[in-house]
Chain A
Amino acid sequence: MHSFGEVLESPRPVMTFRVKTEWLAIPVEKVERVALAEKLLQMPCVRAEHLGLLLENGALIPVLELGSKATTVVPKEGWLVAILHVRGESVGLRIDAAGRILHGWRATLRTGAPPAWLGDAAATTIVDTHEFCWLVDPDALWRGFETP
């Protein structure tokens, strides 16, 4: 069993993204791609976090916010969207910046709880060169958002 602060020999690579003021690290096998959303199709009858649908590679993909959305109006420069595999579905996460791929990383202790908008999706932090990142399991995001 690995302990905090230990350098793992073959940790699965992660990609980092900034959402609001926090850096997230998501296993690369759960990251489909990063897209620029210049326009979203707004949907009625959606959860508060739902920003709209993005047309990507001939398919409509839901784009969601973590936490409550401030606006659904896409700015002129567009929104960065990380398209993730969430419980078998392609779901876009609006991000503020894309970071980089980390192949070797250390689990680390960090004081304080993860932000409420991460729910229980992040239990561990890892350390990048300068930043702490929350190690996030996309399958634990937006629980209960599938329609029965």
Chain B
Amino acid sequence: MAGRQQDVHHDGPTTLVGLTVGPYNLAMWADSILSITAELPCGQMLGAGAFSLAVVDLGVVCGGAARTVLPFAVVFESGDTRAAIGVDQVRHLRLAETPQVLPVPSFGMTMPAFFAGGVQVEGEWLLLIKNASLIEALRCHAV
């Protein structure tokens, strides 16, 4: 399998993984992320336990251009369901305490269910992804 895969430590509710997609700063709780793979050719499946997952480029979902290699592919879960997304950058954000999550106003948004809220980390705002909603949307996108 191409790409360099590494497991992500499950650190609890004070650890986020920042995901950069084009101009957007997103985040997921680290304990929902199963693995991160660098430099994965587009179209290649990723193994996740007994399953193989198609990787959906979140950059394309967010309006960016298609590419041949994903800088990073992230396998994440919600309940018993897993999915894989391609992103531009990842970073581990270990916080001193559980951050305050501010509600994201849905006014003017086309997919408000994607986001659980906004969190401020080291002076920067990140959009916290609602994994279950993203997985649901990716199912439609992958078909």
Spell out A's residues near B (CB within 8 Å). 41-47, 49-50, 53, 55, 58-62, 64, 72, 86, 89-91, 142, 145-147
Q: Which of B4-25 contact A (CB under 8 A)?
A: 21-25
Once the chains are docked, how many angstroms separate the CA of A41 from the CA of B23? 10
Contacts of A146 in B (CB 8 A): 106-107
CB < 8 Å: which of A44, A47, A59 contacts B62?
A44
Which B residues form the contact surface with A (CB < 8 A)?
21-25, 61-63, 102-112, 114, 118, 120, 125, 127
Top 8 nearest A-B pairs by Cβ distance? A45-B111, A147-B106, A44-B62, A50-B108, A41-B125, A47-B108, A145-B108, A62-B107
Q: Is A47 in contact with B103, judged by CB distance below 8 angstroms? A: no
Instruction: Chain A residues near B62: list those with CB within 8 A.
Output: 44-45
Could you name 22 residue pairs across A and B whose Cβ atoms are closer than 8 Å? A42-B23, A42-B25, A44-B62, A45-B62, A45-B110, A45-B112, A45-B114, A47-B109, A50-B108, A50-B109, A53-B105, A53-B118, A59-B102, A59-B103, A64-B108, A72-B23, A90-B105, A91-B108, A145-B107, A146-B106, A147-B106, A147-B112
**A45, A59, A90: which contacts B109 (Cβ < 8 A)?**
A45
When chains A and B are docked, how far (Å) is the Cα of A52 from the Cα of B21? 15
In the bound assembly, the distance between CA atoms of A61 and B125 in angstroms comes to: 13
Q: B31 CB to closest chain A CB, in angstroms?
A: 24
Q: A44-B24, A53-B125 are in contact. Are A60 and B118 (CB under 8 A)?
A: yes
Specify which chain A residues have a CB less than 8 angstroms from the CB of B114 in the assembled complex: 44-45
State the Cβ distance, A59 to closest chain B Cβ, in Å.
7
Bound: A118/B115 CA distance, A: 30
Given contacts A44-B24, A53-B125, whether A60 and B108 have CB atoms under 8 Å apart is: no
Q: Are B105 and A61 in contact (CB under 8 A)?
A: yes
